[in-house]
Amino acid sequence: MNWLLSWMGSPRIASIAVISGTLLGSAALGTGFVLDDYFHRAILLDVEIFDGVEHSPFELFSFVDGDPAHTMRYIDAGMYPWWTSLDVKLALWRPVTALTHMLDYALWPNSPFLMHLHNLAWFALLLVIVCILYRRMLGPGVAAGIAMMCYAIDDARAMPIGWIANRNSLIEAAFGFTAIYLHIRWREEKRTPFALAALAVFTIGLFAKEGTIAATAYLLGYALFLDRGVILRRLATLVPYAAVIVVWRIIYRVQGFGVEGSDTYTDPLIAPFEFTRQLFQRLPVLFASQWTGMPCDGFILFGSWWWILGATLIGSGVCVLLFPLLRRDATARFFCTGMVLSLVPVCAAFPMDRLLSFSGLGAMGLLAQFIVGVRSRTIWSLNGVPRRAASMAVVALVLIHVVVAPFMLVGRIAGFGIIGAVTDQIAEGMPFDESDANKVAVVLDCPTSFVTVYSSIQRRLGGMPTPRCMYNLAPDTFFDTEIRITRTDDKTLVYEPREPYRWLLFRDYGHPMAVGDTVELENLRVEVLGVSVRGEPTRVSFRFKNSIDDPGYLWLEFNNTLIPSKEMFVRIHPPGIGQSVVMNPGA
């Protein structure tokens, strides 16, 4: 331990951190296109995904534009689930990031390797800025070295590095941290060009990704605890940033972008009460993930009160450990303020480790200060907690953030690549041929619509035969659930799943469904026959335009095996009139 910490005090540690993080991140270079990458490819290569809806290259992150006619067109084509609310909007405006993707497709449109290398270049730039900022705040020495290295190898960076479509997280952090650094230079050196540069960089960051607003958490922390002068004048230095945010927000809304009606993304200004509820659930989960290294990505699927309670207890324990440091060190209070408050805006999205770029800056700074403080015995008594316990905490934190983190980083990047390879196999192996181009495919039991949606996009991009639309009738539970399917007449199937339909992206609980609600599509009519107490459908009727036995329908079963293969979708015959089948029995 002593050797490891002393090594991190090397004068070359910044270069080592940048090189180490970049080399670990290079595991992404063998990853191909994954999920939203195909959506972006369709837009940038001008391949029509479904008739009737077009996207500008600057709308790469606009998935539902809020136009009910467009939304219904996507539902009718099977791209969005049948229960999608016509009031939903998921339209994010990130023109600066879009320009970087447009550059990719202008120079190397068919090379995922070079696109991932582009991501890696942004990551390397981000690490350079992080190292400069840590050295500015912590000075040369062991603490700065620990912070640099821990940030560089943190596995929370895995998705932004390994996913071309998530480059925006690297870009926003690079611009946000640069703005923080320039602001500090302005305040300490009293040179106006630094102030103007900080504002310019911050503005560009906002147009790269809205999460850049989290940088203001550190600006506030600096004004409160490190800046000099009368407190009101220190706080007044934040007014220009507030003005930029207001103007950016107005432009954002005037352009027609924003999020509404989704249970996973919430606009604090449009739905403040819903955002507040989610804030108290999501912030502890993100905070605990930041310190324990346990991914929070599964919270959207498995999250419950026990997860939130456990995260709250972990967060409380971290606060107890850090309290003596915060009480005596203004820089620690700066890092803590930035860490905690930067989590507030990202709580507008469902918890994922990729949202920890900004909070990681403060967390790793505090971690470094805590380790150095305990090892040097400047902090040995933690509100009655024996020094032995503090030393054990140091060992645990070093194991998590120094020893285990790099393996997790590479593993999670590789895992993301595996997801891409599996989805490629599924798309290529779908049982369609040229004669199916004008038919309607109906999937009875796929646990998530994402599989059917991205498979359709991939096949169209690859010039493979694809039905004109593909419906997934099963609940979006992400895992197999038992479903009883009854054919009540020549045209109707009634679904009774063990688990109700879940909203996820395309609806919120402010728009519950009720018995008797109907959705009229071109090829079928959906009617809700039963709902849960939260308004989730539990019994649904699907009445098709033609007889279920009509050869214009392709009936598919999702063959979910432990070992993914190309044959994960197989053709089946629907049940006869009056018959019932149970899909995924015992799941």
Model confidence pLDDT, tens digit, residues 475-489? 988 887 899 999 999
What letter does residue 552 receive in the DSSP assignment?
A: T
Whether residue 380 is found in the same domain as residue 492: no
pLDDT one-digit tens code per residue, 485-535: 999 999 999 999 999 998 878 998 888 999 999 999 999 999 999 999 999
In a domain, 69, yes or no: no
Whether residue 333 is found in the same domain as residue 380: yes
Whether residue 287 is found in the same domain as residue 160: yes
Element (H, E) at 538: strand 537-544
Question: Looking at 419, 449, 472, which one is the last position of a domain?
Answer: 419
Q: Is the pLDDT of residue 575 over 70?
A: yes
- Cβ neighbours around 36 below 10 Å, total: 17
Whether residue 368 is found in the same domain as residue 478: no
Whether residue 212 is found in the same domain as residue 290: yes
Number of folded domains that form the chain: 2
CA distances in angstroms from 294 to 49, 66, 276, 310, 315, listed in the order given:
37, 35, 24, 12, 13
pTM value? 0.93
Are the CB atoms for 358 and 217 separated by under 8 Å? yes
pLDDT given at position 502: 86
Whether residue 367 is found in the same domain as residue 459: no
Least Cα distance to 505 among 71, 48, 166 occurs for 71
CA separation for the pair 584, 587 (Å, rounded): 5
Whether residue 233 is found in the same domain as residue 362: yes
Whether residue 243 is found in the same domain as residue 362: yes
% of the chain exceeding 70 in pLDDT: 96
pLDDT grade, residue 263 (50/70/90)? Answer: confident
Average pLDDT, the chain: 91
Whether residue 508 is found in the same domain as residue 412: no
pLDDT one-digit tens code per residue, 106-128: 999 999 999 999 999 999 999 99
CA separation for the pair 186, 443 (Å, rounded): 59
CA separation for the pair 401, 349 (Å, rounded): 25
Query: Which has more confidence, 148 or 49?
Result: 148
Check residue 409 and give left, alpha or beta (phi > 0: left; psi -120 to 50: alpha): alpha
Whether residue 439 is found in the same domain as residue 396: no
Specify the range with the lowest mean pLDDT, choosing from 90-94, 176-180, 294-298, 529-533.
Answer: 294-298
Q: Which domain holds residue 495?
A: 431-583
Least Cα distance to 67 among 93, 48, 39, 86 occurs for 86
